[in-house]
Structure 1
Amino acid sequence: MADRPPAKLGFVGLGVMGEPMCRNLARKSGREVLGFDRAAEPLRRLHEHGVEPAPGIAALAQDCGVIFMALPSGRHVQAVCEGPDGLLAAIRPGTLVVDLGTSPVDLTRDLADHFRERGARYADAPIARTRQAAEDGTLSIMVGAEPADFAELHPLLATLATDITHCGPVGSGQIVKILNNMVLVETVVALSEAIAVARRAGLDGQVLFETLQKGSADSFALRNHGMKAILPGRFPERAFSTDYARKDLSYALSLGSDLGLDLRGARTADDLLRQASEAGYGDLYWPVVSRILDPKPNEGGPGA
């Protein structure tokens, strides 16, 4: 009989979203969790919650039965998996590797094939919602996985999220997340246009947004990105940045192109994000794109 995968859980990437997710996993799963990040500070904080630091990626591959990755982009996921000391080089048969970030669909499927060749398993489980949701364990997660793998993952993901959707086989979670982000960005562009017109026409932006919430234009984007960021002009660093938003939108444009579709709304939104980045707003919370459409309410330059 083949050895069963170890009971320990691994977590790679302890940034703004990864650290609170790893903490919730350690608190609620009842399993020992090993963490890895290049920065020492989150590992020190997480140690107080029972997370043990791993000496490297290869150690996680040897010691953990399920390994989560919360990384900034597909490029980082590929490096962690395929690097000379990466997961693929040391993975044990039966191990389940889970990408919690947003990555290209073709990369996701290719990695799944590579892990399968080594007797391991792969799932995509990109997260949605805010940093506060990561803290509270109330994320939404879209999963692409084989049914048996999803059943194994579900109780672990439930330590991080209140909404967990099995979207289909590997790659399906990424498709849904990429389209989620595309729709969100295009909606925020529409809100930015609306408030720019309202303000230039002499209407109070708060009156506009509060009234839209009572009608058919109401949305999560309006209640959160509109009311909490665009209206007050609040675009902090260490939130989901303009450059990250553009990265995710590039995945949607690439997927559309592969399928022979011209995503005109997404192209327009991407152009505005590009302008925001070139204006010096690349590291700021991405609804700062509203400043490109109407900079007057928030004059003063990046970070003002």
Structure 2
Amino acid sequence: MAVEKIGFIGLGMMGHGMAKNIVEKGYPLFIAGHRSRTAVEDLVRRGATELTSPAEVAQAATIVFLCVSASPQVEAVVRGSSGLKAGAHEGLVVVDCSTSDPNSTLALAAELAPLGVTFIDAPLSRTPKEAWEGTLDCMVGADTATFERVRPVISTWAGKIVHVGGLGDGHKMKLLNNFIAMGYAALYAEALALSQKSGISPQTFDSVIRGGRMDCGFYQTFMRYALERDENAHKFSLANAAKDMRYLEAMANAAGIANPVGNAVKNTFAAAVASGHAEAYVPMISDIVAAGNGTKLT
């Protein structure tokens, strides 16, 4: 069987590491220009081929991975005048690794199917560190045959791969995953602000929680910023967190369920973004909530 030829669009904090693992593990890799020339030049040195547009990447590849910020960007990459659709060919598989709106995912799949293109979702969990190390978590929404086709390539950058279900189910699961994570972040931030304002320092708070039943990996990452001021502890922006919670709200509306906790989490992040902190990282919500309550986590 011929080796799959891989395209990759979106060489940001996550995509750079993912693409690095694909090319280093033997797959021909085609990339399109990105605002970060550092990532492009690094991948070319490792053996990737740079092309000028998503259309050219689609023409050259048999499987194309997308790792961009949200559904509007995915739609632009697919539908743009030099987008993937312009270079589509029979048998091409497009894998959206972004955290996207499942409704958009279903629409794009229906649009590409008459061209012989299969569109699936395979969003990620964990951080740029794991992307670089090739140990991300991945949740895939696809038919079984397509899942088996893409799994060997995904395994170059993921340590845990779960076939969640059919098209769109990966993105639904990713939103549920991020709901839990951002819910933790909002909860920790409010608890720390209340603790500080009540005379219990963040250090004392942590000495009780750490190592107990309420401890977890996300807590430790979050507190690495709250206690040690490590700004790179979790490189995921508040803007992206707020976007994911809006998508979760749409998912809840489509399912016809009440999601009061989801709305509270969404509002925490929406307020932080509205106050000018869109590009701050998730653990920094602790400072924003504290400041909004007239205190500092010192």
The normalised TM-score by structure 1 is 0.91
Equivalence for 2:157: 160
Q: CA RMSD in A?
A: 2.0
2:264 is aligned to 268
**1:58 CA drift (Å):** 1.2
Post-superposition shift, 1:297? 2.2
2:288 corresponds to which of 280, 292, 297: 292
Aligned to 2:248: 252
Q: 1:171, 1:191 → 2: CA distance?
A: 30
Of residues 43, 47, 51 in structure 1, which corresponds to 2:44? 47
Question: Does residue 180 in structure 1 map to residue 177 in structure 2?
Answer: yes
State the alpha-carbon separation in 2 of the partners of residues 163 and 85 from structure 1. Answer: 34
**Cross-structure match for 1:282:** 278
State the distance in 2 between where 1:210 and 1:120 align.
Answer: 53
* Aligned partners of 1:131 and 1:239 also within 8 Å: yes
Q: Give the superposition deviation at 1:84.
A: 1.9
The 5 A counterparts of 1:98-113 are 98-113=95-110
Shift of 1:55: 1.9
- Does the 8 Å contact 1:92/1:120 carry over to 2? yes
CA deviation vs aligned residue, 1:42-101 (integer Å, no higher than 9, x gap) = 211111111110121111111100000111111000001111221122211011100011
Identify the match of residue 148 of structure 1 among 126, 132, 145. Answer: 145
TM-score, normalization by structure 2: 0.93
Unaligned stretches of 5+ residues in structure 1: 300-304
Given the alignment of the two structures, is residue 95 of structure 1 paired with residue 130 of structure 2, yes or no?
no
8 Å Cα contact 1:235-1:286 kept in structure 2:
no
In structure 2, the CA distance between the partners of 1:244 and 1:229, relative to structure 1 (3 Å rule), is: same
Q: CA deviation at 1:6?
A: 7.9
Identity, in percent, stands at 29
In structure 2, runs of 5+ residues without a counterpart are: none
Q: How many residues align?
A: 294
**Gap change, CA 1:234 and 1:264, over 3 Å in 2:** farther
1:83 corresponds to 2:75 = no
> Shift of residue 238 of structure 1?
9.7
Secondary structure (helix, strand or coil) at the match of 1:215 reads coil
Q: After TM superposition, give the deviation of residue 37 of structure 1 in Å.
A: 2.8
Equivalent pair of 1:179/1:252 in contact (CA under 8 Å): yes
Q: 1:67 aligns with which of 27, 39, 64?
A: 64
Q: For residue 234 of structure 1, report the CA deviation from its aligned partner.
A: 4.2
Structure 1, residues 146-200: CA drift from partner, whole Å, max 9, x if none? 1011111111111111111000001010000001101111111111122222222
Q: CA deviation at 1:140?
A: 0.4
Map of 1:192-211 to 2, 5 A cutoff? Answer: 192-211=189-208
Note the C-alpha offset of 1:262: 2.3
Distance 1:237 1:193, change over 3 A: closer
